[in-house]
Structure 1
């Protein structure tokens, strides 16, 4: 009887020890798996992965954001590359005094109130004749002749090799006037260039200029009716 009781005590003790050992093992396994569970939750949350979807759109991915910006910049660049003819013409280099030969002729008959300036491209390559000619008829009047806005062309004037451009210039109201002064030569400066071009006035006796009445049109590829009437 005592022997049986002793075996029962030993079995009970061994069972308790085994139970404690199993409990300890299970406790240790749970502790080791906790970080893995946390990492998994960070990478893919339990709500179906919405945060992961947001990350896929590049909202938090610097590399993808950079790629998106590059794509946007490429689109803008393509728009610039596909610019209109007028914008493309504006990129052509500006004509200088070395590129053109400027001459003057009377327009119409007496009393010769207007002259026409012709600028011919003699450079052998294309250039853009910008704005209006800067004209000074007299040494006593250093101000440029005012330009008439309505004569400004809609697109830049690009001169191919040998091509001319024109500018109509009013010199007086005509007739004999005490304010008129004889001019045999005058100066012209092109937009974007500081070089002074000396231009001979038309006619053997020159032209009569009233500085208070003088006006100039913009450079245009052809003489136009209406826009140059001033």
Structure 2
């Protein structure tokens, strides 16, 4: 009777031990599962953080790209500002300066008019006693040329020196004649009146500045000219006669 009882007790104890063991096992699996789930959550959280970081860096990248775009826009703004430098084509306006400078340059570079380039005529100025004549030199050359200085005139064979020039009649700028254009010079003959020093002249000669060719000028119209060699004067070549500068 004691043996069956011990056997029953051993069976009960073994069953209890098995139950405890199974419980422990289940508890371990639950812990492991929980741990795994916790780990998964942690990994998911880390992944979310990571992707958040990626997103953040993507936003940063987009922002950076945006700012780069701004820089490019600023750059193109700058270059369009430099388009304003095409306003330096306003220095085309400096094209007006070029025309005056150019004309002065062409004046300086125009060749001197030679005797073969012009036709010189003489006409009395005003009425009696005809103290002055006006010389006209017309450019017949077909090209531009420059009338320099004053006419070098000799009225009489007995007076070989040139008629003196009047400094105040000198023009401020070079006298450049286009083809067909005239230049003028005023010449004083005498003080007027009948004077025993006056000599009649029907033809006289002159030379142009820079050319030793003698030009004969006909002065026979109206009975010729009465010249007083001591009083004779000549003005410079000019585009037109000017009051004050040509009063001598």
Q: TM-score range by the shorter chain?
A: 0.5 to 0.7
Per-residue CA deviation, residues 13-55 of structure 1 (Å, 9 max, x unaligned), is: xxxxxxxxxxxxxxxxxxxxxxxxxxxxxxxxxxxxxxxxxxx
Residue 124 of structure 2 corresponds to 106
2:167 counterpart (149, 153, 177): 149
For normalisation by structure 1, the TM-score amounts to 0.63
8 A Cα contact 2:201 2:220, kept in partner:
no
CA distance in 2, matches of 1:84, 1:216: 31
Residue 191 of structure 2 corresponds to 173
Residue 153 of structure 2 corresponds to 135
RMSD, aligned CA: 1.8
Residue 36 of structure 1 corresponds to none
Is residue 228 from structure 1 mapped to residue 234 from structure 2 by the alignment? Answer: no
Per-residue CA deviation, residues 127-149 of structure 1 (Å, 9 max, x unaligned), is: 00100000000000000000000
Structure 2 residues not aligned, in runs of 5+? 1-99
What secondary structure does 2:104 align onto? Answer: helix
2:136 counterpart (118, 123, 133): 118
| 1:204 Cα deviation from its structure 2 partner | 3.3
8 A Cα contact 1:128 1:157, kept in partner:
yes
What secondary structure does 2:130 align onto? Answer: coil
Give 1:27-66 correspondences, 5 Å limit. Answer: none
Aligned residues: 151
Residue 32 of structure 2 corresponds to none
CA distance in 1, matches of 2:172, 2:228: 30
CA distance in 1, matches of 2:106, 2:242: 24
Residue 90 of structure 2 corresponds to none
Please identify the structure whose Cα radius of gyration is greater: 2
Per-residue CA deviation, residues 173-223 of structure 1 (Å, 9 max, x unaligned), is: 011000000000000100000100000115231000000000000000111
Q: Per the alignment, do residues 151 and 108 of structure 1 end up closer, same or farther by CA in structure 2, a change over 3 Å counting?
A: same
What secondary structure does 2:205 align onto? Answer: strand
Is residue 206 from structure 1 mapped to residue 218 from structure 2 by the alignment? Answer: no
CA distance in 1, matches of 2:121, 2:108: 25
Structure 1 residues not aligned, in runs of 5+? 1-81
Residue 217 of structure 1 corresponds to 235
Per-residue CA deviation, residues 107-127 of structure 1 (Å, 9 max, x unaligned), is: 001000000000000011100
